[in-house]
Structure formats: C-alpha cells, structure tokens
A and B are shown apart, each in its own frame.
Chain A
Amino acid sequence: MESSSRKKILIRTTLTGALIGCFFPILAYLARQNPNVLFYIICTAPMVLGLCAYLVSRTRIQAEDLLINKRSEKKINDQKRLLETILNHLPNMVFAKDYQNGLRFVLFNSAGEELLGLRNQDLIGKNDYDFFPKDQADFFTAKDREVFQSKKKVVIEQEPINTPQGSRVLKTVKVPTFRDDGTPDLLIGISVDITEELELQRSLESERGRSLLHSKLAALGEMSAGVAHEINNPLAIIAGNIGLIRRYREDPEKLETKVQAIEKSVERIAKIVRGLKKFARVSDEPHFEETAISELIRESVSLTEAKAQRHQTRVEIASTIDAKITCDTVEIEQVMVNLINNAIDAAKSTPDPWVKIHAFLDSDQVVVQVIDSGTGVTPDVEARLFEPFFTTKEVGEGTGLGLSISKGILTQHKATLQLNRNMKHTCFEIRFKKV
C-alpha cells in the first residue's frame, strides 16, 4: 500500500512534467508565427512558473506526508509487535471482550490458549456461553457487567474454571475501558492460575498442624520421663500414709496428719495432670483470649519444673508486669516451655546454671525475655535457629522443631521472636502487642 501510493505520486509527477514540457514547443511555435505572442508569453510566464512551482511543491508535500505516514505506520507496527510479544509470552492469561458485541472475545493471548486448550481463532468472536457450562458462564458474565457498572477494576480472588487439564482456580483482575463518549468499550481480563499456590498453602497448613503435633509429642516425650517420677513419688507417699493410717486407727491426731499428707500428695499429682491436659489438644483452631502475662509465665515455669530440677538449674521469674495480651494460652505456654527448655539445655553444663525470665513494657509492647547462663549461640547456629529440624542436640534429645514452631505460633499472634544480641547472656525475646 505504501509503495503503490509512491507509484501514484511518481506517475503524477511525470505527467505534470510532461504537461509543462508540452507547453514550451507550443509557445515557441506561436512566437514564430506572431512576434506579439512573445509579449504574451513574457506576460504569462510568472503565472506558468507559479503553476509549475505549485505542482512541484504539492508533489513534494505529498512525498513528505507519505514519509511521515510510513514512519507512524512503522511505529504502530513496532508497538503492535511489542504488545503481541509481551502478551504472548506472559505466563498469565490475558483477554479482551467487546462490551458492545455481547462480550465476545476480541483478544486472547497464548497463555490463555494453553490454559483453556483452545486456539485463538476458535475463541475470537465467541463468548463465554460457547465454552463454559451455563452456570460458570452466567457467573463470568455477571462479573463482567459488574465491572462496567462500577467503572473500576474488579479482583476475583478465586475463580474456579474447567479446563482440559481438569479444574483450575484463577485469580482474575478485570478492568473496563470506555470510549471518548463514555460508552463501555472493552473488558480487559488478566488471570493468574493460583491452583498450585492454593495447594501449597493448604499442604503448608496441614504440615504446620502436623509439626505442631510433632513438637507437642516431643515435648510430651521429654516431659513424660520426668512426669512418671513426679507422679510416682507422691503416690508412694500416699501408699505409705495409708499403711500408717491402718496402724493409727485409734489415734485421731496422728490420723489427721496422715490424711493431710495424703491430700497434699493428691493435689501434687492433680497439678501435674492438669499440666499434661494442655498437650491433649492438638489441632483445634487457636482459641484467643485475654490472658495476664504473669500468669502465663508462672504456668510455663511450673511445666518445666521437673526438667529444671533434673538438671539442677534455677529457673527464676526475675521481673514481671501486670499486663494482658490476647493469645491462645496453650500455644503461648508451649512457646514459653520451648524457650525455657532450650535455655535449661544451654545452661545445664555451666557451673552455676540459671535461667531468668523478664517481662516488661516497651511503649505499647509486652516484652518477654528468656535469658540463660549458657555459652551462647554461634553465628552459624544463629543463622539457622528458626529452620525446622535444625538441632545441635543429640538424636532423641532435640527435634529441631521448638523454635520454628514457636515462631509460627507467634506470627499467628502478630508477635515476634528474636535472639537479642544486645545482652550479655543468651536472650530470646518475644514482643506482643499489649491489650
């Protein structure tokens, strides 16, 4: 088309030239016949020359126009090619539907073709009712009209769709375009296939549940050895006192002291069992409630008492505050037990092993620190602290899950867990939002 218009101009230029050329022999002939003609020629010369100049410049302008046209045409073509390349190499499905023409497809990129298993030429000019079951098509069309009504982009977070590879889930953004006069024009849709992402998320969630179970079992295992001993001792006291009660049947005073000793032992056992009860709850949804931080710390310390005693480690609540946090008490107690157990493990081989717990306020945050007399955390261990299954402990002693699970629980609580490097001793620090 561009070369044909050039040809047209060429022909026109030649014809114009020939036409002007024809004048001169005619004028020369007329001048020989009648010398007066020369006078007319001289008189009309400016007009003829002006005509010639006009014709030549018109031709040139046309040639220039052509050049500009050619350039902008090239520009449009370049942009079209760029857009096509981008569209067809995008991993996301991109399509456009014409509102004025029954929401029929006017554009469909390669990723879309692949996803739907249909070719571009089979799609263009068709609408959703040609491909999808009626209920799905109804859903899509309703959403499309909504987009034009709201005049804003609409995000469809989860859009189930049937494809030859089975059903997939898309996240789709739909954007309306309007003509200059404000009438609806095109609907542009961009879809991301989030099927795998959703599956991963689901499996991570169930993995988290499983890990939570693992860490509970590990904590339970660690505790049960100590717990058996803790329960059997008061049981022995009860059994012994029962024997003595038989002997002192006639002595009310002695009888009373034995009964009291039994009561005390029963309470001791009941307390241990209450502590165990928390481990029975495994995969329920977190149960958030307002809890006093000091109560939480006290309960956690009592859960680790057996272990502390076994390793001759002093666990001390060095400071505490009267503040409340919103949390799942069982889960946060589990975090605290993990941190205290780690601290005891770190401290137990030092000459005078101790663990100190501080709770204080830092503006609107409740800070809990678990500090131990251990030899600290080396930089290479620090880098991997929160990795699941990372442990420096013997097989059977460490699961490597304590800190990673704790971090997960705290993230769910919008709280943070960090190794505080600004302290002289090893310090793990939790920061909660105050109620």
Chain B
Amino acid sequence: MGRIRIFYLDDEEELLAIFQETFESDRHEIRTFSSPNDLILEVAKNPPSLIFLDYRLPSTTGLEVAKLLPDSIPKILITGDLNISGASGFQEILTKPFSISEIQKILDQL
C-alpha cells in the first residue's frame, strides 16, 4: 500500500497498456481508463494524485472531462492535435508522442 495513484484516460487501448507497463512501479500505481464515465466514478471513490487526460476522445474532449473532475487534483493534458484552444487549469500540456523520460520525471517529483 501507500503507492501514489495515477490515472490515465485515453481511447487508444494500446497506449494505455504501454503507459501502465512503462510507469507502474513500487512507487506508482497506474490505473487506466478508456471511458470518461469510468474515470469520473473512480475519481469520486478513490481520488488519485495526478490524472493524465487525452484531448481527443470519441464523443468528447479531455477539456470537457477535466471540468467534471475536482479542481484539487492536478491534471495533465496529452494531445496529438496540432493546436488546441481553451485549455486551462492543467498543470502541463504534453504532446504525443510523449517522451517517456519527461513523464517519468513528472512522476518522480510526486
């Protein structure tokens, strides 16, 4: 127990698997979601320390999902798009393909 909980929402299942495989460690517990609803429910039950949100989701965007999550939890937006507007309230905005070391650094600082 006592591991730092980190959530990641993306509709690209393969990326979720890689993320988990790469960053899951003794210090970090990674939980991944492909459905915004599942994420929101889980956040309400067990709030994590950090949430990664993909921008472009099938029927919504990471920005919309972020509005439904508590402000107190830091969020990072990950996007494969060239430019997005109206992104505020994020600790950071990363672009795909994201760099593993960059995310590792963020996780290590938690």
Contacts and interface: CB of A to CB of B under 8 A. Distances in A.
A145 to B, nearest CB: 70
B91 interface: no
B90 interface: no
Nearest to B78: A236
Nearest to A227: B82
5 contacts: A235-B96, A235-B97, A236-B80, A240-B22, A312-B59
B9 to A, nearest CB: 14
B80 A233 contact: yes
Interface string A276-312: 0000000000000000000000000000000001101
A226 to B, nearest CB: 9
A240 B15 contact: yes
A232 B22 contact: no
Contacts of B59: 312
Contacts of B98: 236, 239
Interface string B5-23: 0000000101100110110
Q: Is the interface of A mostly helix, strand, loop or mixed?
A: helix
Interface residues of B, number: 20
Contacts of A247: 22
Nearest to A264: B14
A312 B57 CA distance: 10
A230 to B, nearest CB: 8
Query: Which of under 10, 10 to 19, 20 to 34, or 35 or more describes the interface residues of A?
Result: 20 to 34
A4 to B, nearest CB: 99
A237 B15 contact: yes
A71 interface: no
B23 to A, nearest CB: 10
Interface of B: 12, 14-15, 18-19, 21-22, 56, 58-59, 79-82, 95-100
B100 A236 contact: no
A383 to B, nearest CB: 35
Interface of A: 224-225, 228-233, 235-241, 243-244, 247, 261, 309-310, 312
A225 B82 contact: yes
- Which of A230, A238, A240, A243 gathers the greatest number of chain B CB atoms within 10 Å? A240
Contact of A261 (B14, B96, B99): B14
Nearest to A254: B21
Contacts of A238: 97
Contacts of A228: 80-82
- Which of A233, A238, A241 gathers the greatest number of chain B CB atoms within 10 Å? A233
B22 A243 contact: yes
B96 A232 contact: yes
Given A235-B80, A239-B98, 14 more contacts: A224-B82, A225-B82, A228-B82, A233-B96, A235-B96, A235-B97, A236-B80, A236-B97, A237-B18, A239-B100, A240-B15, A240-B97, A240-B100, A243-B22
A238 B98 CA distance: 10
